[in-house]
Amino acid sequence: DTEVTQTPKHLVMGMTNKKSLKCEQHMGHRAMYWYKQKAKKPPELMFVYSYEKLSINESVPSRFSPECPNSSLLNLHLHALQPEDSALYLCASSQTVLAGTYEQYFGPGTRLTVT
């Protein structure tokens, strides 16, 4: 199983809502990532979890709150988002973050629209 799954596929939320994005992998990977991708732009790294611990936070606003409940799951909790946060949110996993030599496996993404 080399699949990373993400739910939901699409999400529309108001600026006062609280919602969560979910990501799951069963490849035994110990590194998981959240990226944000705007139209016609490359994916931008948001967070990296290594062995269930947050290891990189790329100065992401606190209205985005990641959580890694176990080695297979990664959540992104959303609260009080702005319309400019509308984007494709991609989850990825890799064996580890060590040495930078392991390719990432990406999920299909969640298309988020903030109204």
Partner 1 sequence: DQQVKQNSPSLSVQEGRISILNCDYTNSMFDYFLWYKKYPAEGPTFLISISSIKDKNEDGRFTVFLNKSAKHLSLHIVPSQPGDSAVYFCAAQKLVFGQGTRLTINP
Q: In the complex, what is the shortest distance from the CB of residue 80 to partner 1, in angstroms, rounded to a whole number? A: 27
Q: How many CB atoms lie within 10 A of CB 18?
A: 12
Q: Name the one range near partner 1 by CB under 8 A: 11-19, 61-69, 71-79, 84-92.
A: 84-92
Q: Name the one range near partner 1 by CB under 8 A: 12-20, 40-48, 61-69, 70-78.
A: 40-48
Q: State the Cα–Cα distance between residues 114 and 94, nearest whole angstrom.
A: 29
Note whether 107 and 27 are within 8 A (CB).
no
Q: Name the one range near partner 1 by CB under 8 A: 37-45, 60-68, 69-77, 79-87.
A: 37-45
Q: 85 φ, ψ to 5°?
A: -80, -5
In terms of Cα–Cα distance, which of 67, 37, 35 is closest to 52?
Answer: 67
Report the residue from 64, 94, 112, 114 that binds partner 1 according to the rule CB under 8 A. Answer: 94
Residues facing residue 113 across a β-bridge: 12
Residues lying near partner 1 in the complex (CB under 8 A): 4, 6, 33, 40-45, 48, 56, 90-92, 94, 97, 99-109
